[in-house]
Chains A and B, each alone.
Chain A
């Protein structure tokens, strides 16, 4: 569950495939495919809500990567709240964010 949140934060802020004009992947390594490192992340406290899922025959819910979905939206909402800009493409990387702020682009939050 914590891993999913960490993965979501990485996707939201930095992780992306960067291709060159020759169509080759430019960042096929952990230096430039920027997964978050420990110091990039807050403490993550999972709260387990033990209510059976009514849409599943055994009542089970997804764990692991299921948690990514919410963390992407959470980061996007936090960015919109902080900057007044609703970013509509991921990742919300520093170059993309600054460009949006400078051009006063994007949907107003």
Chain B
């Protein structure tokens, strides 16, 4: 490794200034991807900007309207210790809880998971299904953008030079809504998703689906999102037949690769199965 500068700014503005000033600066949050990439020679960096000292990025807050702001430097283990958050968004937290191992979860952040832009990132499909947004700070001020769209290709994001994600935001959750995330791996842990599926569903009092968002990870270069426009679930009781129909829509959109983690055909089949299982958990949570 060559000479490297290391900065630990304590304000968002300082972080933006540092990131904007160096064309070869990298953001360090948990470092569970960055450090591995540096050590293995996959990536070089002249300047590491650690964002963990910024107080604003270490906070988890719920607003009066019920929405949540999760600081970008909060690790997944800490998020999972927040009982109120876990009760409201169990699927998102279960997804964050699947990243790496217990030790890794003590470091890894959802914002980092998103910015690493791996097609197989665990927390991203869950956030996309939950209609989460991110708040981004940059040289031109702050902006908010949907999580879906931040990763534009494997390893690439829509963030501009000098920009960093400062929080992941979960919207207020409508009544009778449930969400879930499941992933398939050939082992029980310490593995990378062969397929991941997130589902968010809202039911009315008669049990008819009034809103639905389904997402798939690891079956395309970026997360695939399906909603009412794709003709899934909305307007009907989400019974076996409706789930089967929606699964067919999802499977027909899959364009996975054949690789060491699974064949394209296998990933597509599993996407349908996993979606149905995930949807059933989301439906149970919406009713409960």
Question: Once the chains bind, are A31 and B192 in contact (CB under 8 Å)?
Answer: yes
Residue of B nearest to A30 (CB): B190
Instruction: Give A26-42 interface residues, CB cut-off 8 Å to B.
Output: 26-27, 31-32, 34, 36-37, 39-40
Give min CB distance, A67 to chain B, whole Å. Answer: 21
Inter-chain CB contacts under 8 Å: number = 43
Instruction: Give A10-64 interface residues, CB cut-off 8 Å to B.
Output: 13-14, 18, 26-27, 31-32, 34, 36-37, 39-40
Question: Once the chains bind, are A98 and B269 in contact (CB under 8 Å)?
Answer: yes
Residue of B nearest to A17 (CB): B260
Cβ of A93 < 8 Å from any Cβ of B?
Answer: yes
Bound Cα distance from A37 to B186, whole angstroms: 11
Residue of B nearest to A10 (CB): B187
Instruction: Give A58-99 interface residues, CB cut-off 8 Å to B.
Output: 93-95, 98-99
Bound Cα distance from A98 to B187, whole angstroms: 16
Which interface class (under 10, 10 to 19, 20 to 34, 35 or more) fits A? 10 to 19
Interface size on B, residues (CB 8 A): 18
Bound Cα distance from A72 to B187, whole angstroms: 17
Residue of B nearest to A94 (CB): B186
Interface centre among A37, A40, A95, A99, by most chain B C-beta atoms within 10 angstroms, is A95
Q: Chain B residues near A95: list those with CB within 8 A.
A: 262-263, 265-266
Chain B residues at the A interface, C-beta cutoff of 8 Å: 184, 186-192, 194, 259-263, 265-266, 269-270
Some 12 contacts from A to B, beta carbons below 8 A apart, are A14-B186, A26-B260, A31-B192, A32-B260, A34-B187, A36-B187, A37-B188, A39-B188, A94-B262, A94-B270, A98-B269, A99-B263
